[in-house]
Structure 1
Amino acid sequence: MRRELEPLFTPWKIGNVEVKNRIVMTSMGGTDLLGWMENNHFDKAGAEFILQVAENNVGLVLPGCQPVYNPMFGQWLHQNKRMYRDLAAWMPEFHKTGAKLFVQLTAGFGRSFSVSPMMEALYTNPVLRTLSKPFMDLDMICASASASPNRWSDKVPSRALTAQEIQRFVYSFAQSAKLLQEAGVDGVEVHAVHEGYLLDQFTLPYVNRRQDEYGGSLENRYRFATQIVQAIKRECGDDFPVSLRYSVVSKTKGMRQGALPGEDYVEVGRDMAESEKAARLLQDAGYDMLNCDNGTYDAWYWAHPPIYMPENCNLEDVEHIKEFVDIPVVAAGRLVPEVAAEAIAEGKLDGAGFARQFLADSEWVTKLTEGRDEDIRPCILCHNGCFNLCHYEGVPNDQDLSDSLHMARCALNAQTMQTDKHHIKRADRPKKVAVVGGGVGGMEAALVLKERGHDPVIYEASGALGGTLIQASAESYKGKLRDLLAWYRHQVEKAQIPVHLNERVTDLDALMADEVIVATGSTPILLPVPGAEKMVEACEFLDGAPVGERVVVVGGGLTGCEIAYELHLQGKRPIIVEMKNDLVAQKGVCLANSSYLREYFALHQVPVYLNATLKEVFDGEVVVEQDGRSVAIPCDSVISSVGYRPAPLKGPKRSRKRVRYVGDCAGVGNLRTVVWGAWDEAMKV
């Protein structure tokens, strides 16, 4: 292990509980031990993942948050005694790893609950609203500190919780914590005065307008959170540690309005001056640790940083708040291990929190200690598999139901939280398999085939492995994607998979193989407008094609917006033209990612033409039609980013070989569809 990392692997204490090292896996919805958005039960899939993480040198593990009031079916967490007995039977196996386990308990989501179109239909139809109440009581699930708009939908507003309902939550926290203590759990974490969840909504002035003992003064607004820890301590004793998930600063300008890094703004939530007082108040109430980052659901990119956010984005604020408390403080948010280790060595931090990196590679801490950094599959902060709650103009949470019910999967690691579907099964009869295309789909398929015992060979038409990941990782802020590209190339080399570069396959039947996997990707769509030949295609730009100062980007989807973002970072003047009514109006892109880009363009006054259709490209300008009128936009260059279509290499109709298609050549998607699809096909060989 590198010397600079050693401070991460020193023991520390939370209350009377000693933790073997400073690495903390912070909680992620879906990695739950007692069920997620379903009937409460001991969850074997969650336990399998948690155990795998614990076996790989993590000090403290925090499973996914457990609502004390289950959004589905309205169960109180303390009522199902059997699952605690199942948990107790499993805890000795967990403790063999030497790790400690704190189960995170949450009061719920309040106005941040991710309302979907189906939920809107249930709520707005009086009959359906009544019929659905026993299994989804949206009136209760979305209740907040005060009547407020939902973060995702204007059709399902939040009402104010009553004082009596608040006490039911407090009671369930205490009873659930006691059952967890009796099951052998090392502590609990209260979720959360953090991220704009329900408990946090009580603390935030822009949400809480109550006139009773839970509103107004700082002490009143934090009363719900302090009553919870006091009730737990009464039930479990002072020696049972209680951590608090805590947002140091809200970074919020208003309802559905975040504040970007470096932005000059007026804080409507918790500012640093209040946080200094609140942190001491919460410590004095009985909390034994603060597990910190920043943000709310209105400024979601702080708590769920996309790749556009700076590394260690919350660390400075967390280091500051540590000066005001005597209890341990953990930081999370794009932490770089070396930077966290330095902060711990200097006494500015007690624990280093990581989350999604564990989904990408549950063994990454072990690999770090063994000096195998090149074998760590990196998290690229895409949220495609783990938390793809997406939102755009006129649409609530546009997320597939399967994703809502099965979070904490990983776009890059098909096995994470779905080993029932994706697991290595050795081949009964090894085959020689030709993989045509050396992009992500081809490399992933080849790696799975090799692990299964087959003999894959990759044929790549260009001079390097990577496919469009080469272009996708070219932008200045895409370091994590460049790490992923390096990881794939290293894994292919390490697996000793033969690679034929600069070899374009035209005849699948001529390949010396038993089966063929085609992973030839896609080709760009070119708009049939006059002057189209004057445009630079997106991948050409990412490959280095020069552009002028004023650049029109045609297409305001994720790729187009990321190109416009890169152009602005370069000091150029991008202009976005999008035919839909919002930017990044596409499924699968997490709101944390898309809201950053939208708010960045708004802050920096990047011109955006929505509901606009490109009509013609001239030297020095483009003409678009917007709302029935023709608009000329002066520019120096035009970049086309309007999408792609599959480009499969077809085999002969009566081929002697079985041909399978993976990646974008089978259907244009994202890295998740490519990786998971490659697994699906490679497992069929």
Structure 2
Amino acid sequence: MNAAIFEPIDWRNLKVKNRIFRSSISGRFDNEDGSGTQTRINWEEKFARGGVGAIISSYVPVTLEGRIMSGYATVHTDDFIPFWRRLGASVHRHDCRFIMQLSHSGRQQDVPGIVNQHRKVLSSTSRTESLHGFPCQAMTTAQVRETVQAFAQGARRARAAGLDGVELHGANGYLITQFLSSGINDRRDEYGGSLENRARFVREIVRAIRIECGADFHLQVKISAIDYNNVIPTEGRGNTLEDSIQVCKWLEQDGADALHISTGSLFPHPLNPPGDFSFNTIANTYENMISSGVYTLRNYFLFRYRFLRWIFYLIWFRQKWGKPVQGVGADAAAAIKKQVNIPVISAGGWQSGATISEAIGSGKFDAVSIARSLIANNDLVKQYARGLDLPDRPCTYCNKCLLNAPKNPLGCYEQNRFGGDYDRMVREILTVFEVPPGHWDGPPPPPPPSLS
């Protein structure tokens, strides 16, 4: 039933034992200076042990200023290469590949930390982000070129660490999206205006990485197939599928080995991740973001007070109506697959083994990436190998894992999946902080964030 899932991958620069990639999903597991911890290694190794073929790392900023949140490990200095080498070796022990996701938040910065507390972050634009109101400053041409080189140096460090490749995070509203999207990019120089100009930034990054790392190092690009840049109705619609198909063709020409297809002009977006929205959860964790943006206090009131929640509910859920949760981006990924000659990975709520196997087996795309369903069941791939379509306790798509992320440790917060036992749920979440004996020779990991 799940045979196509277990067909090995033999792409140009990447060999993987099966077709399941753990998608990027991040927790605040690291130190304020960007150095990594054993907790980060424990987190990634959970999924390698569970049977995935490859892990796309949690979001890894190429500059210290480019973090979504403080407490994320970065790759902005050669000093951190030994940490990433240890992490890669831990994953490789389980015959699992490790792909570092090179990233920069741009204006989409949830919790800035002390590094960015009192300055505007850099973006393609000086327009304040529309949902949370994150302030920003348009990069100068010199700063654009410096950032291109920061990505190239990040790739060099990933290769020096013995990792299996890199992914450029060009989706979901982060910096590369801020250049690509017609709904965000309002520049009047060579990096703005036409689609060709808006794509110049990511294309220069791909070329710079090829110069730095050569043609034999795996390089994939994650892109939002459709922006749906209308969470706030007054915004422009952003890039269409046709725009993204052209960008993907250019990326293939420039040397990309594979494409990872997502959706949305920001994160989270009503269609990414698909599923439910827990007002009780976000009301308890969004307070960590109140100082980050102009509109965050407004949003906090919409989440906190029941008589206001209907306003946000209508704005958010109007885009979900009539769309599936599983495979929400499958059609767009399949459309791109038809137009390029390099492999395509599809993101978007995947969990059913039979559905995944049918999509891959029919040639719609070459692999899928999964995050939340693997958080719920780290051994999901091993359950597929036993012939199961769905695990005994499947992910409910409640999104409580992501809504807890600004304040609490990353993990599954759907208490019903633990038989209603809160203590059992907490014990499972906190396993990532357990240090295996003799497993770490660096500084001690930070204490677990509060669960309050």
Structure 1 length-normalised TM? 0.51
Query: Equivalents in 2 of 1:70, 1:198: separation in Å?
Result: 14
Match status 1:191 vs 2:169: yes
- Among 397, 411, 414, the alignment partner of 1:412 is 414
> C-alpha deviations, 1:624-677, integer Å up to 9, x for none?
xxxxxxxxxxxxxxxxxxxxxxxxxxxxxxxxxxxxxxxxxxxxxxxxx9xx89
**Alignment check: 8 A CA contact 1:74 1:135 kept:** no
- Among 254, 263, 275, the alignment partner of 1:294 is 263
CA drift of 1:257 comes to 3.6
Query: Equivalents in 2 of 1:52, 1:19: separation in Å?
Result: 18
Structure 1's 24 and 376: CA in aligned 2 closer, same or farther, altered over 3 A? Answer: farther
User: How many corresponding residue pairs?
Assistant: 381
Structure 1's 15 and 30: CA in aligned 2 closer, same or farther, altered over 3 A? Answer: farther
Structure 1's 144 and 81: CA in aligned 2 closer, same or farther, altered over 3 A? Answer: closer
CA drift of 1:372 comes to 5.4
Q: What is the SS of the residue equivalent to 2:421?
A: helix
Gaps of 5+ in 2: 277-319, 429-449
Please name the residue that 1:256 is paired with.
Answer: 232
- Among 234, 241, 245, the alignment partner of 2:211 is 234
Match status 1:332 vs 2:328: no
Amino acid at match of 1:280: K
Query: Equivalents in 2 of 1:405, 1:352: separation in Å?
Result: 29
Please name the residue that 2:370 is paired with.
Answer: 354
Query: Equivalents in 2 of 1:344, 1:441: separation in Å?
Result: 32
Query: Equivalents in 1 of 2:337, 2:187: separation in Å?
Result: 30
- Among 105, 116, 121, the alignment partner of 1:136 is 116
Please name the residue that 2:151 is paired with.
Answer: 173
**Alignment check: 8 A CA contact 2:2 2:387 kept:** no
**Alignment check: 8 A CA contact 1:76 1:172 kept:** no
Please name the residue that 2:137 is paired with.
Answer: 159
**Alignment check: 8 A CA contact 2:62 2:104 kept:** yes
CA drift of 1:94 comes to 2.1
Amino acid at match of 1:49: W
Match status 1:200 vs 2:177: yes
CA drift of 1:233 comes to 0.9
Please name the residue that 2:50 is paired with.
Answer: 56
**Alignment check: 8 A CA contact 1:139 1:159 kept:** no
Gaps of 5+ in 1: 120-131, 259-265, 389-402, 414-438, 452-672, 678-685
Identity between Structure 1 and Structure 2 (%): 27
Structure 1's 319 and 443: CA in aligned 2 closer, same or farther, altered over 3 A? Answer: same
Please name the residue that 1:273 is paired with.
Answer: 242
Query: Equivalents in 2 of 1:42, 1:14: separation in Å?
Result: 30
- 1:535-546 matches, cutoff 5 A: none
Amino acid at match of 2:128: P
CA drift of 1:446 comes to 9.2
Structure whose CA Rg is larger: 1
**Alignment check: 8 A CA contact 2:24 2:59 kept:** yes
Q: What is the SS of the residue equivalent to 2:35?
A: coil
Alpha-carbon RMSD across the aligned residues, in angstroms, is 3.2
> C-alpha deviations, 1:382-433, integer Å up to 9, x for none?
2223334xxxxxxxxxxxxxx42555322037xxxxxxxxxxxxxxxxxxxx
Higher relative contact order (CA 8 A, sep 6+): 2
Please name the residue that 2:394 is paired with.
Answer: 378
Query: Equivalents in 2 of 1:93, 1:186: separation in Å?
Result: 13
Please name the residue that 2:129 is paired with.
Answer: 150
CA drift of 1:280 comes to 0.2
Amino acid at match of 2:357: A
CA drift of 1:74 comes to 12
Query: Equivalents in 2 of 1:331, 1:321: separation in Å?
Result: 10
Please name the residue that 1:6 is paired with.
Answer: 3
**Alignment check: 8 A CA contact 2:7 2:17 kept:** yes
**Alignment check: 8 A CA contact 2:345 2:368 kept:** yes
Query: Equivalents in 2 of 1:342, 1:442: separation in Å?
Result: 32
Structure 1's 442 and 252: CA in aligned 2 closer, same or farther, altered over 3 A? Answer: closer
Query: Equivalents in 2 of 1:82, 1:144: separation in Å?
Result: 27
Structure 2 length-normalised TM? 0.76
CA drift of 1:443 comes to 4.6
Please name the residue that 2:328 is paired with.
Answer: 313
Q: What is the SS of the residue equivalent to 2:223?
A: strand
Amino acid at match of 1:62: I
Structure ranking higher in strand proportion: 1
Please name the residue that 2:286 is paired with.
Answer: none
> C-alpha deviations, 1:21-76, integer Å up to 9, x for none?
100111012287xx47x321232112112112112221111121111122478999
Query: Equivalents in 1 of 2:417, 2:332: separation in Å?
Result: 38
Query: Equivalents in 1 of 2:275, 2:217: separation in Å?
Result: 35
CA drift of 1:300 comes to 0.6
